[in-house]
Structure 1
Amino acid sequence: LAGQPLSELGPERLAALRTLMPAQPRDRFNLSALALLELSQPEPDGPSAHEALRRVDAWALRDRPVLDLSAGERQRVSLAQALVQGATLLLLDEPVAFQDPGHQSLVGSVLSNLSDRVVVFCAHDVNWVARCATHVLGLGLQQQAQGWFFDTCEAALQAERLHHLYDCRWTQLRDANGLRAWVAL
């Protein structure tokens, strides 16, 4: 990581380089969303916590206790929390889980604009992956889909590969402008 073997990096250095956003955070304390972000920063800096909440359309949630948030709201606060940690490597598990299409698009835009960071995410929404990812690592978890593949998004997202990953048939629809969407059959 960052050109060094993991065994040579201590816990503090690893924590500074990477952050993990789980698909479903387990909150132990009923802090406000803003307090949670402020506590997540390596050094408290209110403006960046404010900016992170605004970037993910969660500013209106700043004073709400995290235990009172919907799953989608909490997921956006989790993304803001990952952003304020300042790590170079963001490991995101289902960053658009529980998000409506507008917020899925927003999250994709936020992640696409993180040119100074490496973003690795796990997602099952094939169409969102097609819009947001540059590369795909497909893991064959179904019995008939042993193995894995890694390729550019265009090469990876093919009907036969998707069939082996998800154990269902896929087709790709195209509109008059060439925009594509994957549909499971």
Structure 2
Amino acid sequence: MSWRDGGNSSGPGGGHGHGHGHAGGNGHAGGNGTDRAGARGNVHGAGHRAWARHALTAPPRVNLTRAVPRWQRLRLPSALRAPLGYDAVGVTPWLGARVRRALPRSGCVFTDTERWWWIVPAGTDVGIAWPAVAHYAVGGVVATPGASRGGPCLTHWPEDNVPYTHPILLYVVLCDALGVPPDWSGPMAS
């Protein structure tokens, strides 16, 4: 019996030693054949299993720092009259800049970090199949990022004091900017 056998070893570097040798398993412990690394591994293994069990059964954590949208109505300046009521059509800033350059005339435009909003006469959603990227806000009530204190700001005041952008022109320019043909098959076509 050598000191490597650890007593009753099953083979070279064996792991079943029952004697008082110095090597069992990985050569670091003798006696009962349990090595220190294995003992430590079992302790960590049990802790890891408990953590994994908690991770599977614990309720999901809520991200409290995520901005919660608020709803607010875009307010036209009192100097501008809107006898037809108003709604708003919103697109991303990148698309908004393209649309703004292509329109021959714009009414009031409100902007924030997420959307550019054009004021259109109320009911403009009837008969127009706005592209999916456009957000139609009935009554000009829009979702604003929670971090945005005042919401969208009026960034374009029309020279003629008419708050509306012509909805058909806005629709055509938006479709052109997206590279999709306008859909004239809705109720307005009949």
What's the TM-score once normalised by structure 1's chain length?
Answer: 0.19
The structure that is helix-richer by fraction is 1
What's the TM-score once normalised by structure 2's chain length?
Answer: 0.19
Larger Rg, first or second structure (1 or 2): 2
